[in-house]
Amino acid sequence: MEWWVLLIVLIWLGIVSWFDLRTREVPHMAWVVVPLLGAMVYQTALGGWRLVFLTLIVALVSERQRLAKLTELAIDRLPFWFPFLFAGLYLAGSHNPIGAIAVVGFWIAWELRCWGGADAVTSLVLVLIWPDLSFVLALLVVHLLVAIVATGVSLVKEKKLHFHQMPGLPLLLLSVVLRSLFLS
Residue 177 CB neighbours (<10 A): 15
pLDDT given for residue 69 in this prediction: 87
Residue 2 above 90 pLDDT? Answer: no
* Mean of pLDDT values over 26-37: 90
Q: Considering only 70-79, 104-113, 114-123, which range has the smallest mean pLDDT?
A: 70-79
Alpha-carbon distance of 140 to 102, in angstroms, equals: 11
**Contact call for residues 88 and 57 (beta carbons, < 8 A):** yes
pLDDT given for residue 75 in this prediction: 85
pLDDT given for residue 163 in this prediction: 67
Label residue 168 by pLDDT band (50, 70, 90). Answer: confident
**Contact call for residues 93 and 108 (beta carbons, < 8 A):** no
Supply the mean pLDDT for the chain. Answer: 89
Label residue 25 by pLDDT band (50, 70, 90). Answer: confident
Alpha-carbon distance of 60 to 34, in angstroms, equals: 16
Label residue 162 by pLDDT band (50, 70, 90). Answer: low
Domain layout of the chain by residue ranges: 3-183
Taking Cα atoms as reference points, which of 90, 115, 113, 116 lies closest to residue 101?
A: 90
